[in-house]
């Protein structure tokens, strides 16, 4: 049986919203948190031959402590570009408040993990949290998706309209 997390107090939601809007980098990153693989990532980086691209396998790419250190954590107490709450306090409302804070500040949302079926769809819940975010952005028509050979990003357009991802 799954555990239900209590709803977020209004004051905490407001603080998270404001901290997200005030992100020093004026952008947010999203994707899979892979804290349980930090040691594997470090081991991989050390074992890659000198001069090699050191491109990690896609299952190792995501939000690690390195991204949190570089982009900054955002929550009710801190201002940054990566949502981070305690595992026992995260819920859909917290995620939606974070998305709204970034969207209302017209910030770009950059994926920190691959945009692929594994990171979008869930056998158990139909969509992962990343997939749910993408669905919300598409359904609400507030974002357009840009992909290049180098990166992909979701951008809040100057005049929002319904679009496809």
pLDDT at position 127: 83
Mean pLDDT of the chain: 76
What is the rounded CA–CA span in Å between residue 28 and residue 22?
Answer: 11
Torsion-angle region of residue 133: left (phi > 0), alpha (psi -120 to 50) or beta? alpha
What is the rounded CA–CA span in Å between residue 37 and residue 18?
Answer: 31
pLDDT at position 112: 84
What is the rounded CA–CA span in Å between residue 89 and residue 150?
Answer: 34
Overall pTM > 0.85: no
CA-based nearest residue to 97, from 5, 3, 18: 18
Q: Indicate if the pLDDT at residue 12 is higher than 80.
A: yes
Do 165 and 130 meet the contact criterion of CB atoms below 8 Å apart?
no
Do 40 and 60 meet the contact criterion of CB atoms below 8 Å apart?
yes
CA distances 154 to 18, 47, 102, 122, Å, are 20, 34, 11, 21
């Amino acid at each position: 049986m799954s555990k239900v997390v209590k709803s977020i107090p209004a004051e905490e939601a407001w603080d998270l919203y404001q901290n997200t809007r005030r992100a020093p980098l004026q952008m947010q990153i999203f994707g899979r948190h892979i804290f349980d693989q930090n040691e594997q990532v470090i081991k991989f980086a050390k074992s890659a031959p000198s001069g090699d691209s050191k491109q990690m396998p896609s299952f190792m790419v995501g939000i690690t402590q390195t991204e949190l250190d570089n982009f900054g954590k955002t929550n009710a107490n801190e201002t940054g570009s990566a949502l981070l709450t305690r595992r026992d306090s995260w819920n859909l409302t917290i995620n939606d408040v974070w998305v709204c804070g970034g969207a209302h500040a017209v910030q770009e949302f950059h994926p920190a993990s691959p945009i692929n079926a594994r990171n979008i769809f869930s056998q158990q819940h139909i969509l992962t949290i990343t997939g749910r975010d993408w669905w919300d952005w598409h359904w609400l028509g507030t974002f357009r998706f840009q992909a290049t050979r180098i990166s992909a990003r979701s951008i809040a357009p100057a005049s929002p309209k319904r679009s496809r991802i």
